[in-house]
Amino acid sequence: MSLEGARETRCLGDNPPVRLNAYLARAGVASRRGADELIKAGRVRVNGEPGQLNTFVESRDVVELDGRTLRRQQLAYVLLHKPAGVVTTARDPQGRPTVIDLVRHDARVVPVGRLDADTTGALVLTNDGPLAHRLAHPRYGVEKVYVADVEGRPNAEALRWLAEGVDLDDGRTSPARVRKLAPSRLELTLREGRKHQVKRMCEAVGHPVRRLHRSRHAGITADELAPGEWRALTPAEVTALREATEASRAPS
């Protein structure tokens, strides 16, 4: 097997040791927070012994919930073209449709980060907790590319402000790459992940967003999919996601 093939097989098939709550989440029985409660309640045993919050599980270990043996699901990676009007969460108290409703995968996958309900575009879902954390955490500086239709026609000064950094109520934004695609359409490439960041940046320079689309996340695009459609990521794309979190990691 080639080195590249071996790397892709390792990314998709191997099961390295994971914390017990992550094992339970990947087995599809609960979220990590819910798994913590199951562990604290004494309902989980590992190799016949009560599981602890700091227990790590390997592939040869036997994990039981209420006496029933669990099997960890294979790692799964999904790309969704998120449509407008769908919320990026597992369940919504207001009863709105969620991205989980759209992705009918055998594995229990959850979204990486969030897109606003009215924002469309590329959204990765996975049960690979460590990778999801790295993709979403600002420390790793993974690129996200957005196309924004805005009010008015931004001039050169507005573009410069967006590129150099905008003062928001939670601090100045990091430098971004900005391109003008049309008189009222901008492309912004960010390495941060603040809440409503693109909308707040454009509002701050006097051009509120009318429509927002994430065209790429860590170099992967969903534009070949119709809104609401999803597909499994290829082994090469999974490898690219892992490499993106390694290559773009910001200094501590």
* Active site residue ranges: 116
Distances (CA, A) of 51 to 58, 148, 161: 13, 48, 52
Neighbour count for residue 171 (Cβ, 10 Å)? 10
Cβ atoms of 45 and 24 closer than 8 Å: no
Helix, strand, coil: what percent of the chain each, to 5?
30, 25, 45
CB 143 within 8 A of CB 182: no
191: phi then psi, degrees, rounded to nearest 5: -120, 10
Instruction: Burial-class residue 13 by CB neighbours within 10 Å (0-12, 13-18, 19+).
Output: exposed
199: Cα separation from own chain's centroid: 19
- What is the distance of C-alpha 108 from the center of its chain? 14
